[in-house]
Amino acid sequence: MSKQEKLEILILDDEKQFTEELHEFLQKSGFESFETSNFQDANLVLAAHDIDLLILDVWLPGINGLDILEDVKTRYPKLEVVIISAHGDMDTVIRAVRLGAFDYLRKPFRHIDIQIVIERTQKYLHLQRKLKLVEERNSLISKTLEEKIDRHFIGISPLIRKVFDAALAASKYPDANVLITGESGTGKENIARIIHYSSTRKDHLFCAVNSSAITDSLLESEFFGHKKGSFTGAISDKMGFFEVCNNGTLFLDEIADMPLNLQSKILRAAEEKTITRVGDTKPISTDFRIISSTNLDIEKRVTEKKFRLDLLHRLNTVNIHIPPLRERPQDIEPLLIHFINMFSQKLNRPEFTIQKEVFSELKHYSFPGNIRELKNMAERAIILSKGNVLEVHDFPTKAQSSGQLSDELMSLDLEKNEISLVRKALLVSNYNQTKAADLLGITRHALIRRMKKHQFKIGKNEM
Ligand X SMILES: Nc1ncnc2c1ncn2[C@@H]1O[C@H](COP(=O)(O)OP(=O)(O)OP(=O)(O)O)[C@@H](O)[C@H]1O
Q: Which stretches of the chain bind ligand X, using CB under 6 A?
A: 152-155, 182, 184-190, 295, 371-372, 375
Q: Is residue 108 reached through a cis peptide bond, with omega within 30 degrees of 0 on the bond before it?
A: yes
Identity of the residue, 205 or 209, whose beta carbon is nearer to Mg ion in the bound complex = 209
CB of 463 to ligand X, least distance (A): 27
DSSP at 251: E
CA 305 – CA 300 distance, rounded (Å): 9
Q: Residue 326: what residue type?
A: R
CB of 202 to ligand X, least distance (A): 18
Identity of the residue, 189 or 237, whose beta carbon is nearer to Mg ion in the bound complex = 189
Identity of the residue, 66 or 296, whose beta carbon is nearer to ligand X in the bound complex = 296
CB of 54 to Mg ion, least distance (A): 48
Q: Exposed e or buried b for every residue in 335-367, given b needs 16+ CB within 10 A?
A: bbebbbebbbeeeeeeebebeeebbbbbebbbb
Of Mg ion, ligand X, none, which one does residue 368 interact with (CB within 5 to 8 Å by kind)? none
Of Mg ion, ligand X, none, which one does residue 85 interact with (CB within 5 to 8 Å by kind)? none
Identity of the residue, 22 or 332, whose beta carbon is nearer to ligand X in the bound complex = 332
Of ligand X, Mg ion, none, which one does residue 371 interact with (CB within 5 to 8 Å by kind)? ligand X
Q: Which residue is nearest to Mg ion (CB)?
A: 189
CB of 380 to Mg ion, least distance (A): 21
CB of 171 to ligand X, least distance (A): 16
Identity of the residue, 189 or 361, whose beta carbon is nearer to Mg ion in the bound complex = 189
Identity of the residue, 35 or 189, whose beta carbon is nearer to Mg ion in the bound complex = 189
Chain center to CA of 384: 33
CB of 248 to ligand X, least distance (A): 18
Identity of the residue, 189 or 394, whose beta carbon is nearer to Mg ion in the bound complex = 189
Q: Which residue is nearest to ligand X (CB)?
A: 187
Tell me the C-alpha to C-alpha distance, in Å, between residue 154 and each of 163, 272, 346: 11, 37, 18
Of ligand X, Mg ion, none, which one does residue 155 interact with (CB within 5 to 8 Å by kind)? ligand X
First CA to last CA distance, the chain:
71
CA 38 – CA 60 distance, rounded (Å): 8
Taken as a whole, the chain contains a residue count of 463
Provide the phi-psi class of 273: left if phi over 0, else alpha when psi is between -120 and 50, else beta.
Answer: left
Do the Cβ atoms of 8 and 53 come closer than 8 Å? yes
Tell me: does residue 189 bind Mg ion (CB under 5 A): yes
Tell me: does residue 183 bind Mg ion (CB under 5 A): no
Q: How many residues bind Mg ion (CB under 5 A)?
A: 1
CA 411 – CA 439 distance, rounded (Å): 21
Question: Residue 283's beta-bridge partner residues?
Answer: 276
CB of 188 to ligand X, least distance (A): 3
Catalog residues that contact Mg ion under the rule CB under 5 A.
Answer: 189
